[in-house]
């Protein structure tokens, strides 16, 4: 397992069947990344065709590299290998963490663990570099998702890997999540539903940095 520094805003791309609009929205979000406060960009677009997924993954890998942001592919080891992404993120139902670790030596491997510390321990044992818990709050992206209490982040510090919080996080509640022990906050709707995506990305990154610097 590699030592990973994951700290800040973890942006997950939105579901969008319009390829041009999709790339434009993500490009807008990345405009603020040079100001700091970003952890990673995860490519996830459930409405894309296989051909679109390959093209978009290539485009986002190049874009993320230009901005100096790690690019993570959601649930697709093959795609991560094809576009030479920095890593892959697997859900609990996707399986194959140990196999993904074998196929992606030296690259980032993340795992969704929902509300389970036991699942997180197993993921780390299988080679995960970071784990994600959530939904922390009610999520528009996954309204039926299991809820993860903030206390879980305190308990999970002993895992020794970065902790990512996901689910319903926005400017109004991000500070509480960071103070609870999350190293990174993952956002989709809170960013891409904003009328000004670039401004919202700046605000979210600044809120994270402010919250961390204010922690005693």
- Cβ atoms within 10 Å of 76's Cβ, excluding its own: 20
Q: Can 44 be counted among the known catalytic residues?
A: yes
Residue count (the chain): 216
Of the residues 25, 53, 107, 112, only one is catalytic, namely 112
Residue 12: phi, psi to the nearest 5? -105, 130
Residue 16 and residue 29 in contact, taking contact as beta carbons nearer than 8 Å: no
Active-site option among 142, 147, 179, 212 = 142
The CB density around residue 75, as the number of other CB atoms within 10 Å, is 16
**CB of 172 within 8 A of CB of 27?**
no
2: phi then psi, degrees, rounded to nearest 5: -85, 150
* Cross-strand pairs, 111: 90, 131
Please say whether the beta carbons of 187 and 168 come within 8 A: no
* Helix, strand, coil % over all residues of the chain, rounded to 5: 45, 20, 40
* Residue of 44, 101, 107, 202 marked catalytic: 44
- Pick from 124, 94, 26, 22: nearest CA to 66: 26
Which residues are tagged catalytic? 44, 112, 142
């Amino acid at each position: 397992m590699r030592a990973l520094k994951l700290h800040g805003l973890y942006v997950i791309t939105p579901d969008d069947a319009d390829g041009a609009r999709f790339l434009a929205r993500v490009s807008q979000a990345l405009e603020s990344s040079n100001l700091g406060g970003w952890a990673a960009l995860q490519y996830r677009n459930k409405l894309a065709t296989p051909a679109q997924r390959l093209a978009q993954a290539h485009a986002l890998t190049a874009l993320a590299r230009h901005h100096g942001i790690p690019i993570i592919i959601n649930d697709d080891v093959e795609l991560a290998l094809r576009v030479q992404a920095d890593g892959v993120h697997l859900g609990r139902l996707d399986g194959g963490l140990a196999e993904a670790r074998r196929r992606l030596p030296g690259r980032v491997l993340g795992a969704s663990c929902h509300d389970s510390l036991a699942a997180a321990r197993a993921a780390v044992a299988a080679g995960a570099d970071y784990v994600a818990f959530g939904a922390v709050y009610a999520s528009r992206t996954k309204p039926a998702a299991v809820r993860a209490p903030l206390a879980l982040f305190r308990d999970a510090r002993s895992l020794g890997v970065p902790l990512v919080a996901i689910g319903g996080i926005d400017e109004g509640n991000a500070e509480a999540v960071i103070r609870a022990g999350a190293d990174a906050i993952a956002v989709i709707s809170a960013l891409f539903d904003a009328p000004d995506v670039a401004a919202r990305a700046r605000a979210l990154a600044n809120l994270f940095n402010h919250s961390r610097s204010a922690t005693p």
